A and B are shown apart, each in its own frame.
Chain A
Amino acid sequence: KQEVTQIPAALSVPEGENLVLNCSFTDSAIYNLQWFRQDPGKGLTSLLLIQSSQREQTSGRLNASLDKSSGRSTLYIAASQPGDSATYLCAATDSNYQLIWGAGTKLIIKP
């Protein structure tokens, strides 16, 4: 059974720093991996989707990587801003085409 883990559960960094969020999964047989952002009390915004055949995807200051062999994905945020403060969730699409979710990392960017 696929399990997705995100560590740490919370992270606080000063504005301007580059940072990395981690996501690990137990079963490498995934179709893709998605990173989402969630603001307090709000829905989910898709940030990046990496297909299983890809190694990374980039959008603006965000870069997501995927290493299926090690069961890891990372989300790199460059030059962090206070507006980046949110909870970031990763989810892997499993063999039933369903998303298996991590619990998220709550990110706080201090001005």
Chain B
Amino acid sequence: EAEVAQSPRYKITEKSQAVAFWCDPISGHATLYWYRQILGQGPELLVQFQDESVVDDSQLPKDRFSAERLKGVDSTLKIQPAELGDSAMYLCASTLSGKNNEQFFGPGTRLTVL
């Protein structure tokens, strides 16, 4: 069964360092989402891609976060520099289109900033 892949699964870093997360959506899924989930809360959308284009990055802290999906397939989310408050689960999801389609999630990357 096709799945959304994410790596790494866990990342520990010190504040002010750079970190990067990778996501490979289900083959054929044009829409890709990055979420951040703080413990005990629902996920928060950071960025939404349609193919290689950003549809919505209004909640992405652009002073330190960046996201790209250069070829419209896999995607990278970067944080530089990391801050203590960035400790969270980072989730990637994909769907065939943005409407009336189920979002499928990867296993997530657990980030701890020390």
Which A residues touch B102, using CB under 8 A?
34, 46, 49
User: What is the count of residue pairs linking A and B with beta-carbon distances less than 8 angstroms?
Assistant: 53
Q: Are B56 and A98 in contact (CB under 8 A)?
A: yes
CB distance B43 to A101 under 8 Å?
Answer: yes
B40: nearest chain-A partner, CB-CB: A103
Residues of B within 8 A of A (CB): 6, 40-45, 48, 56, 89, 91, 93, 98-100, 102-108, 110
Contacts A4-B42, A49-B102, A93-B100 aside, 4 further interface pairs with beta carbons under 8 A come to A36-B105, A91-B42, A97-B99, A104-B42
CA A29 to CA B93, docked complex, whole Å = 23
Expressed in whole angstroms, the Cα–Cα distance for A43 and B6 within the complex equals 10
Interface size on A, residues (CB 8 A): 24
Give the interface of A toward B (CB within 8 A). 4, 31-32, 34, 36, 41-46, 49, 51, 89, 91, 93, 96-99, 101-104
B56 touches A31 (CB 8 A): no
Within the complex, the shortest CB–CB distance from A33 to chain B, in Å, comes to 11
Chain A residues near B105 (CB, 8 Å)? 36, 43-46
Q: List 25 A-B contacts (CB under 8 A).
A: A4-B42, A31-B99, A31-B100, A34-B102, A36-B105, A43-B91, A43-B106, A44-B105, A45-B105, A46-B102, A46-B103, A46-B104, A51-B100, A89-B42, A93-B100, A96-B56, A98-B45, A98-B48, A98-B56, A99-B43, A99-B45, A101-B44, A103-B41, A104-B40, A104-B41
